[in-house]
Amino acid sequence: MNSKSKKEKIYRLIKDASDEKLNYVLEAISTYEKNVIVGSTVDGKPLTKLELTRSLEKASQQIEEGKFFTTEELKKEMVLWRKK
């Protein structure tokens, strides 16, 4: 079944659907979108859209709270790593 046929079938199924069925469909689509794989972690683990969004929100919060290293601080830290 091609995309056009699928869309037509879905349209027929939901055009007169009850609110309950529509809510179910919306929830299913929302769940799919949150769990779609958008990348991977540095160790190769799949990364979902929801996980990426949460990670970015956490990083933004840390930046707002001043919990980050400047480039100069990181360079100094890297020098220490090399000495070990």
The whole-number pLDDT of residue 83 equals 82
Model pTM greater than 0.85? Answer: no
The whole-angstrom distance between residue 37's C-alpha and the CA centroid of its chain comes to 8
Q: What is the pLDDT of residues 4-50, one digit of tens each?
A: 999 999 999 999 999 999 999 999 999 999 999 999 999 999 999 99
By residue range, what is the domain housing residue 66? 3-83
- Count: domains in the chain: 1
